[in-house]
Amino acid sequence: MDEYRDKILKVCNESSKNTLMHTLDIEYVDIGENYLVGKMPVTPKVHQPDGVLHGGATVALAESVGSMASYIFMDAQKLLVRGIEISANHIKSVKEGEVYARATVMHKGKTTQLWDIKITDAEDNLISICKLTTIALPRK
């Protein structure tokens, strides 16, 4: 299982080259039966002017991990995955370190998927709670 898990994570990380995920240094670090985890360093490049993690960067992390999870758990050969709605509640500020997004499937339908995404810091403090709806569309 570890070899298969590592292969999936490698593919996820390689697909991020020259994208927003690469720009934000998002890395996919863990995968399970119904979840995917990504991490992002909290540095000045993702700060808002007062020196804390920007909510938009947090949402970009959440949507990146949730969309990638949807892609992994759907038939990617036949389907394209797109985010259609995301919401976020920011609970705590972070100035440095790393934040982790764990996307867990709440509903996996044929067309739409609903993801619960919890953003935590290295000490497992809850930073944000996000909900992402994705849609699976047939490839043409």
- pLDDT, residue 1, reads 57
* pTM exceeds cut of 0.85: yes
Q: Please tell me the distance from the alpha carbon of residue 108 to that of residue 115, in angstroms, as a whole number.
A: 9
Which listed residue (14, 27, 63, 85) is catalytic?
63
User: How much of the chain, in percent, has pLDDT values that exceed 70?
Assistant: 99
63 is catalytic: yes
Reported as a single tens digit per residue, the pLDDT across 90-118 is: 999 999 999 999 999 999 998 999 999 99
> Structural domains in the chain?
2-138 (3.10.129.10)
Mean pLDDT per 10-residue run, the chain (140 residues)? 85 92 96 95 97 97 96 84 96 97 95 96 97 92
- Bridge pairing between strands 97-108 and 126-138: unpaired
Q: Please tell me the distance from the alpha carbon of residue 24 to that of residue 29, in angstroms, as a whole number.
A: 15
If you ran DSSP here, which 8-state letter would residue 96 be given? Answer: S
